[in-house]
Structure 1
Amino acid sequence: MRRRTPPLQPGGSSANRRTNRVSDSTSDNVVWHAGHHDRDERWSHLGIKGCTIWFTGLSGSGKSTVAAEVERLLVERGQPTYMLDGDNLRHGLNGDLGFSEADRNENVRRVSEVARLFADAGVMALVPLVSPYRAGRDRAREIHVAAEVPFFEVFMDTPLEVAEERDPKGLYKLAREGKIPNFTGISDPYEAPLEPDLALAPDVGTETDMANAVLTLLAHHGLIAR
Structure 2
Amino acid sequence: MSQSTNIVWHESHVTKEERVNLNQHKSAVLWFTGLSGSGKSTLSVALEKELHAQGIHTYRLDGDNVRHGLNKNLGFSPEDRTENIRRIGEVANLMVDAGLLTLTAFISPYRTDRDNVRALLDENEFLEIYVKCSLEACENRDPKGLYKKARAGEIKSFTGIDAPYEEPNHPEITVDTEIQSLEESVQVIINYLKEKQYIDARR
Letter in 2 for 1:170: G
Task: Tell me whether 181-190 or 195-204 shows the greater mean CA deviation.
Answer: 195-204
CA contact 1:66–1:210 (8 Å) conserved in 2: yes
User: Does 2:118 correspond to 1:137?
Assistant: no
User: Does 2:21 correspond to 1:44?
Assistant: yes
Letter in 1 for 2:13: H
Task: Specify the alignment match of 2:164 in structure 1.
Answer: 189
Gaps in structure 2 of 5+ consecutive residues: none
Task: Specify the alignment match of 2:99 in structure 1.
Answer: 122
| Alignment deviations for residues 76-107 of structure 1 (CA, whole Å, 9 cap, x no partner) | 00111111001000000000000000000100
Letter in 2 for 1:150: E
The whole-number CA distance in structure 1 between the counterparts of 2:139 and 2:23 is 43
Following superposition, the deviation at residue 46 of structure 1 comes to: 3.6
CA contact 2:35–2:133 (8 Å) conserved in 1: yes
Following superposition, the deviation at residue 204 of structure 1 comes to: 4.5
Which of 109, 113, 134 aligns to 2:90? It is 113
Task: Specify the alignment match of 1:218 in structure 2.
Answer: 193
Task: Specify the alignment match of 1:6 in structure 2.
Answer: none
Task: Tell me whether 163-172 or 31-40 shows the greater mean CA deviation.
Answer: 31-40
User: Does 2:180 correspond to 1:205?
Assistant: yes
The whole-number CA distance in structure 1 between the counterparts of 2:179 and 2:96 is 27
CA contact 1:204–1:210 (8 Å) conserved in 2: no
Letter in 1 for 2:175: L
User: Does 2:157 correspond to 1:153?
Assistant: no
| Alignment deviations for residues 160-215 of structure 1 (CA, whole Å, 9 cap, x no partner) | 00000000000000000000000000010111111111111135421111011111
CA contact 1:120–1:149 (8 Å) conserved in 2: no
CA contact 1:158–1:201 (8 Å) conserved in 2: yes
TM-score relative to the length of structure 1: 0.84
Secondary structure of the corresponding residue to residue 72 of structure 1: helix
Matches within 5 A, 1:16-165: 26-145=3-122, 150-165=125-140
Letter in 2 for 1:183: F
Secondary structure of the corresponding residue to residue 31 of structure 2: strand
C-alpha distance 193-151 of structure 1, shift in aligned 2 (>3 A): same
Gaps in structure 1 of 5+ consecutive residues: 1-24
| Alignment deviations for residues 10-65 of structure 1 (CA, whole Å, 9 cap, x no partner) | xxxxxxxxxxxxxxx93223222221122112221343421110000000001001
TM-score relative to the length of structure 2: 0.94
Following superposition, the deviation at residue 149 of structure 1 comes to: 6.7
Which of 152, 157, 163 aligns to 1:177? It is 152
CA contact 2:137–2:178 (8 Å) conserved in 1: no
Letter in 2 for 1:187: D
Aligned pairs, number: 200
| C-alpha RMSD over aligned residues | 1.5
The whole-number CA distance in structure 1 between the counterparts of 2:170 and 2:198 is 21
CA contact 2:133–2:176 (8 Å) conserved in 1: yes
Task: Tell me whether 212-221 or 125-134 shows the greater mean CA deviation.
Answer: 212-221
The whole-number CA distance in structure 2 between the counterparts of 1:32 and 1:215 is 35
